[in-house]
Structure 1
Amino acid sequence: MRPYNLPESIEACLFDLDGVITKTAVVHAAAWKQTFDDFLLQRDGSGFTPFDATRDYDEYVDGRPRADGVRSFLASRGISLPEGSPDDEGDTVEGLANRKNDLLLEKISAEGVEAYPGTVHYVRTVRQHGLKTGVVSSSANCREILVAVGVESLFDVRIDGLVAAERGLPGKPHPDTFLAAAHDLGVTARVSAVFEDALAGMDAGRSGRFGYVVGVDRVGQANALLAHGADIVVRDLAELEHQG
């Protein structure tokens, strides 16, 4: 292991955004909860079962493209909706996805957004040692958030929700977005490390046969991250440097 606790073979590091680089996962969860609870209340009345911002978020929406998250959660409740149009605001898959994104942007505007200092320092460290870096996120707001926290220049490539849509790449748990980032960096999956906090991201790292998969446990799901393919789990990336 090198000073930043990665195998000698690793040449590139691919980082998820929400929950790994920035402290936005909790904001996403809150926006999803408000969106789904409002929908379920209108549909089922006051006896509805609320969206669980930990269990349901981790299992059905975390790390996935927005529309996929809507489909996944609704399927868990036996609910099917029409797809709708990209600018829809009604009770459709696209409509709920758009409502969630509007709420997310409102919350970020009101509360601001921060980067995890341990991650920023770690990214700087691996870059200083000659490793390439990329950010891989299902978020269509990825670039704006990176700019807002002043870290856009730390990543050589960015594969986000907008790029995935342009290239027709399926989102996590499929490995395609991570594989695209590795390709754009000029490396293979075997010499790339994935850094993820989402179970869907773990699945992507495992199925893509990446050389090393780091689970970042911000919410007490270390065992689940390991079960979904993590080679190691840390609470903060600063721990990796301390272990070197």
Structure 2
Amino acid sequence: MVKFEQIKGFIFDLDGVIANTSVFHAKAWHQLADKLGVTWTEDLANQLKGVGRMDSLNLILKSGGKENDYTEDEKIKYATEKNDNYLSLLKGLTDKDILPGMKEFIEDLSANNYLISLASSSKNSPKVLEALDLEKYFDARVDPSTLKNGKPDPEIYVRGAEVLNLRPEECIGLEDAVSGIKSVNGAHETSVGIGDPEILNEADINFTDTSQVTLANIKKAMN
């Protein structure tokens, strides 16, 4: 692991790291799974964390043994229906929905001149940042529609460093999902896992919840 002093940028996942929009995603996917006759389980919900829209739909269909039941056009229709449902659930989102300590952490990064980018698989991330009143702190954002591969592929975190004009080893990636940690590690960046350390056991640094994520605690863990 690199030394803390080498770090110049922080790359954030959104759902479950900055705000719990993942609960809205889960609710919208659950409703679609019910409609498609696929049994919703906690394991399936965990598989969808940090995964893009079409990949999530394919995981749901595979879980129900229905992966060959729909045309590509039908899949796009269902994915769009889920997204519309998700956006309607998001309408009440405000800065009060930011996870504990994360606004202060992001403000601290900005005050200390660290560069900040967003590496979310969600095409709705600009709307979410705006609703949370955090967009002003982000120097750049990866546009997921420009990516060839979703997480756990490292592409999104490689791009997260590129949009800040930094080398991967100068960046820290923050994630709450196994697929995200694999993505950060594959990009050769320092990974911070937020959640159960037994599940996120490949992370370089672990915090059980967002309130523990501070510059001082990251520096202590790295040095």
The two structures have a TM-score, normalised by structure 1, of 0.80
Structure 2 gap segments, 5+ residues each: none
The total of aligned residue pairs comes to 212
1:83: Cα distance to partner? 4.5
Report the CA distance between 1:176 and its aligned residue: 0.9
Alignment counterpart, residue 104 of structure 1, candidates 86, 101, 112: 86
| Superposition map of 1:78-227 within 5 A | 78-80=65-67, 81-85=69-73, 92-109=74-91, 111-113=92-94, 114-159=97-142, 163-165=143-145, 167-210=146-189, 212-217=190-195, 221-226=196-201
Shift of 1:169: 3.2
For 2:208, the equivalent position in structure 1 comes to 235
Find the residue that maps to 2:172 and give its secondary structure.
strand
Deviation at 1:153, TM superposition (A): 0.7
Percent of aligned positions that are identical = 27
Deviations 1:35-65 (A, max 9, x none): 111211xxxxxxx6x212x321112x11111
Aligned residue for 2:25?
Answer: 28
* Cα pair distance change 1:36/1:121, threshold 3 Å: same
Correspondences of 1:35-74 after superposition (within 5 Å): 35-40=32-37, 50-52=39-41, 54-59=42-47, 61-74=48-61
Give the Cα separation in 1 of the matches to 2:148 and 2:60.
21
Judge conservation of contact 2:101–2:210 (CA < 8 Å) in 1.
yes
Q: Indicate the residue corresponding to 1:45 in structure 2.
A: none
**Structure 2 SS opposite 1:171:** coil
Q: Is the 8 A contact 1:215 1:234 kept in 2?
A: yes
Alignment partners' CA distance in 1, 2:186 and 2:71: 28
SS at match of 1:185: coil
The secondary structure found in structure 2 opposite 1:134 is: strand
1:17 touches 1:135 (CA, 8 Å); kept in 2? yes
- TM-score normalized with structure 2 length: 0.87
* Counterpart secondary structure, 1:13: strand
Question: Runs of 5+ in structure 1 lacking a partner?
Answer: 1-5, 41-47, 86-91
- Moved segments of 4+, more than 6 Å: none
- The answer on whether the counterparts of 1:15 and 1:136 sit within 8 Å (CA) in structure 2 is yes
Q: How far, CA to CA, are the matches of 2:122 and 2:157 in structure 1?
A: 14
Please provide the CA RMSD for this pair.
1.9
